[in-house]
Amino acid sequence: MSGDLREAMTAAAIEVDAALDALLPPEDGEERSLFAAMRYATVGGGKKMRAFLVLEGAEQFGVTRDFAVRVAAAVEMLHAYSLVHDDLPAMDDDDLRRGKPTVHKAWDEATAILVGDALQTQAFATIAAPETHTDPAVRADLCLALAQAAGARGMVGGQMLDMLAESAASPLDEASVARLQQLKTGRLIEFSAEAGAILGKASTGARHSLLAYGRDIGAAFQIADDLLDLTATPEEAGKATGKDAGAGKATFLALHGPERARVQAERLIEQAKAHLDGFDARADRLRALADHVITRRS
């Protein structure tokens, strides 16, 4: 990763962590274990790539920083909720996430279910609040776009396909694998890239370009993730690795092997950058992020 990008991503993660800290309920009251677990699952963990996409997208249109940071925090709440639920015993049954015990391990299953539920709600509460934009039409539009990305026809539908694929008699074909990944992880990354354009009331064309950029880096990110799962140690990845191959996970990598997977990821990254052709130098960090997605080691 270039020094500039690393610095910008670190600064953004710190900024968004501060916003999460301010937005999530403080750890007091009888139900403080819920609040503590919500914080554990979101604040200070992960690379906050989705938040970075929101912030950098918003930069293209000169959006008020405070507005963008709130939406970035909301996207991270939504993402964290999905991880907490995906890690549950009835789902992927993972013990380790971001180098720490998963929420149902550190607390219990009931708490983990409620933490995910409450983080999803808090994401919508954050976006809908007047502090997120002076124009309520922007807030309603953001709520709708996030819900469409995250719901039954988006992220949750993708997780359902993933569950079904694991118990299926025959492996998924390439089209089904692509659709699964696009729903499960792609749609939220698309929304993250697009959100800045919604905040900035950008033209439909600009909004679509950012969404398409998000789609391509999302797909490349997924392939890179699968390659890391194959090659990284659990210490490097901060979670269990090597599980996918054993579980017969439906991935591009499983279908075509590492060489073709790498080529495909590179092709997607070139395509992602091409979607930014109409943007000026303010989009350089988005271009650098695209390159980073397939060269990262964790």
Interacting residues toward a copy of itself by CB under 8 A: 24-25, 30-31, 33-35, 38, 81, 85, 88, 90-91, 108-111, 113-114, 116-118, 120-122, 124-125, 127-130, 135-137, 139-141, 143-144, 146-148, 150-154, 156-157, 159-161, 163-164, 176, 179
Q: Based on CB atoms, which residue is closest to a copy of itself, 116 or 196?
A: 116
Find the shortest distance in angstroms from Cβ 257 to a copy of itself: 25
Q: Based on CB atoms, which residue is closest to a copy of itself, 113 or 255?
A: 113
Q: Which among 296, 46, 79 has a CA at the least distance from the CA of 188?
A: 79
Find the shortest distance in angstroms from Cβ 199 to a copy of itself: 14
The 3 state secondary structure assigned to 178-213 is HHHHHHHHHHHHHHHHHHHHHHCCCCHHHHHHHHHH
Q: Based on CB atoms, which residue is closest to a copy of itself, 133 or 292?
A: 133
Q: Based on CB atoms, which residue is closest to a copy of itself, 7 or 31?
A: 31
Contact 57, 196 (CB under 8 A): yes
Find the shortest distance in angstroms from Cβ 82 to a copy of itself: 8
- Calpha distance 121→168 (Å, rounded): 32
List Cα–Cα distances, 78 to 24, 172, 192, 251, in angstroms.
13, 27, 11, 23
Q: Based on CB atoms, which residue is closest to a copy of itself, 7 or 109?
A: 109
Find the shortest distance in angstroms from Cβ 160 to a copy of itself: 4
- Side chain identity at 72, as an amino acid letter? A
List Cα–Cα distances, 224 to 97, 160, 221, 240, 273, in angstroms.
18, 22, 5, 16, 17
Q: Based on CB atoms, which residue is closest to a copy of itself, 150 or 220?
A: 150
Q: Based on CB atoms, which residue is closest to a copy of itself, 183 or 290?
A: 183
The secondary structure of 8-73 as a DSSP string is HHHHHHHHHHHHHHHHSPPS-STTHHHHHHHHHHHTT-S--HHHHHHHHHHHTTT--HHHHHHHHH
CB environment 57-79: b (16+ within 10 A), e (fewer): bbbbbebeeebbbbbbbbbbbbb
Find the shortest distance in angstroms from Cβ 219 to a copy of itself: 19
Find the shortest distance in angstroms from Cβ 90 to a copy of itself: 4
Find the shortest distance in angstroms from Cβ 269 to a copy of itself: 28
Tokens linked to 112: 């983990």
